């Protein structure tokens, strides 16, 4: 829901960083992998209670996620890059609630499992829609620069990261935050299924 607004605000800075990294000889895929490794490094930090470092790694992961896309658009976007970007994003997203479950299984495991299940709903509805949109030659007017049809929703990347930030700042409230966000993800999944029914029955 907030992704487009955030992208418009940070785009000039992201594009400038991307140009500099390309000038150094780096490629978009390199930044994608670096960002993923940085992001999943938050897992042991959460497990051992180093929340400030975990938060820093999560935010750095999101920064690299913006930079790699800008680098791809400024050079040569590839299907491999688009595949890596979305696959590693979903693996990172699921790793964060898993980390909280590992940190305190008694208090967090059930809520983490429900949240990860809700991520399956948003993820599979998102990707299934993109596959069929590609088959029909559809394109997104809202996110035209994405490597595939990007169907928005109530819970997008920005909302997810905001919740992760709150979880790191208030780990004692993880279960409540996870269950609340899982409910919002369920709404997103339902709206995407509804959109698919409306569009793909024509």
What is the rounded average pLDDT of the residues 25-42?
95
Average pLDDT in the chain: 88
What is the rounded average pLDDT of the residues 83-100?
95
What is the per-residue pLDDT for 58? 96
Residue 26 — left, alpha, or beta (φ > 0 → left; ψ -120 to 50 → alpha)? beta
Closest to 65 (Cα-Cα) out of 37, 41, 97:
37
What is the rounded average pLDDT of the residues 78-86?
88
DSSP for 61-81, written as a single string: HHHHHHHHHHHHHHS---HHH
What is the rounded average pLDDT of the residues 79-95?
92
140: helix, coil or strand?
A: coil
What is the per-residue pLDDT for 157? 82
What is the per-residue pLDDT for 64? 93
What is the per-residue pLDDT for 138? 72
pLDDT in tens, 144-170: 555 555 566 778 888 899 999 999 999
| pLDDT tier, 141 (very low <50, low <70, confident <90, very high otherwise) | low
Rounded Cα distance between 119 and 86, Å, is 13
Does the pLDDT of residue 19 top 80, yes or no?
yes
What is the per-residue pLDDT for 48? 97
What is the per-residue pLDDT for 136? 77
């Amino acid at each position: 829901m907030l992704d487009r607004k955030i992208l418009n605000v940070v785009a000039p800075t992201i594009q400038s960083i991307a140009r500099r990294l390309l000038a150094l000889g780096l490629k978009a895929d390199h930044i994608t992998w670096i960002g993923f490794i940085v992001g999943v490094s938050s897992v042991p930090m959460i497990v051992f209670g180093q929340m400030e470092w975990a938060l820093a790694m999560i935010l750095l992961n999101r920064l690299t996620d913006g930079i790699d896309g800008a680098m791809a658009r400024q050079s040569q976007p590839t299907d491999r890059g688009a595949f890596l970007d979305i696959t590693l994003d979903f693996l990172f997203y699921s790793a964060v609630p898993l980390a909280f479950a590992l940190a305190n299984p008694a208090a967090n495991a059930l809520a983490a499992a429900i949240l990860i299940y809700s991520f399956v709903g948003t993820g599979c509805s998102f990707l299934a829609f993109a596959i069929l949109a590609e088959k029909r030659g559809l394109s997104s007017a809202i996110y035209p620069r994405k490597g595939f049809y990007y169907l928005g929703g109530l819970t997008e990347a920005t909302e997810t990261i905001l919740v992760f930030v709150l979880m790191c700042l208030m780990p004692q409230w993880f279960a409540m935050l996870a269950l609340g966000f899982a409910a919002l993800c369920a709404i997103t999944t339902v709206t995407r299924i509804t959109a698919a029914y409306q569009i793909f029955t024509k």
